[in-house]
């Protein structure tokens, strides 16, 4: 039994020796690669026996599984915010009937991965908001300092005419 977990970025393409093997949108990949099909269709894909498939695999997938003699595949998509970002995939080298417990375990694993990614995204958002708040506080502190300076200067400038009037009144009263 081989296990794998992976994700594919937007515009994914696989190349080998500078030759394009396939892209995420390739028809062969879309319909004939169980893990990627699981991601693109956001559905669980179960293949009990690759030699008994009614839909053929792409040549690239067949070339990939031959050395390992992969005969069974189960793939559960990792879906975050309605978008599949990866899959938890289990491979067997012999034909295998996937039990409800196995599929349930894979779903639980995908849910844990999803929760972890979502939590990390929320933490990143919180850190970004905290940083923005700290920057806004610095700006507010600077503005308050400028306002204090303005108030000091204004009050000083307004006192001068009062002193002049006070002096003039004092002269007149004498």
With CA atoms as reference, report the closest residue to 51 among 31, 70, 76, 75: 70
pLDDT at 57 over 70: no
How far the first Cα of the chain sits from its last, in Å, is 110
Q: Is the distance from CB of 9 to CB of 87 less than 8 angstroms?
A: no
pTM above 0.75, yes or no: no
Greater confidence, 105 or 7? 105
Chain segment 105-163, per-residue pLDDT in tens? 999 999 999 999 999 999 999 999 999 999 999 999 999 999 999 988 888 778 888 88
Among 59-63, 78-82, 95-99, 162-166, the range scoring the smallest mean pLDDT is: 59-63
Q: Residue 73 forms beta bridges with which residues?
A: 47, 91
Distance CA 133, CA 139 (A): 10
- At 40, the pLDDT band (50, 70, 90 cuts) reads confident
**What is the band of 9 on the pLDDT scale with cuts at 50, 70, 90?**
very low
Q: Count Cβ atoms below 10 Å from residue 23 Cβ, excluding itself.
A: 15
């Amino acid at each position: 039994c081989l296990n794998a977990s992976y994700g594919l970025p937007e515009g994914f393409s696989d190349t080998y020796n500078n030759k394009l093997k396939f892209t995420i949108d390739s028809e062969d990949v879309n319909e004939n690669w169980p893990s990627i099909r699981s991601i693109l269709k956001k559905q669980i894909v179960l293949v009990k026996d690759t030699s008994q498939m009614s839909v053929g695999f792409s040549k690239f997938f067949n070339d990939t599984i031959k050395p390992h003699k992969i005969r069974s595949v189960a793939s559960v998509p990792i879906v975050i915010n309605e978008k599949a970002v990866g899959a938890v995939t289990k491979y067997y080298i012999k034909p295998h009937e996937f039990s409800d417990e196995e599929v349930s375990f894979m779903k639980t694993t995908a849910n844990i991965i999803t929760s972890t990614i979502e939590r990390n995204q929320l933490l990143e958002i919180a850190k970004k908001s905290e940083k923005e708040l700290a920057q806004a506080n610095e700006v507010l502190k600077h503005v308050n300092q400028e306002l204090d300076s303005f108030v000091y200067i204004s009050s000083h400038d307004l006192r001068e005419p009062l002193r002049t009037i006070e002096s003039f009144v004092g002269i007149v009263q004498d």
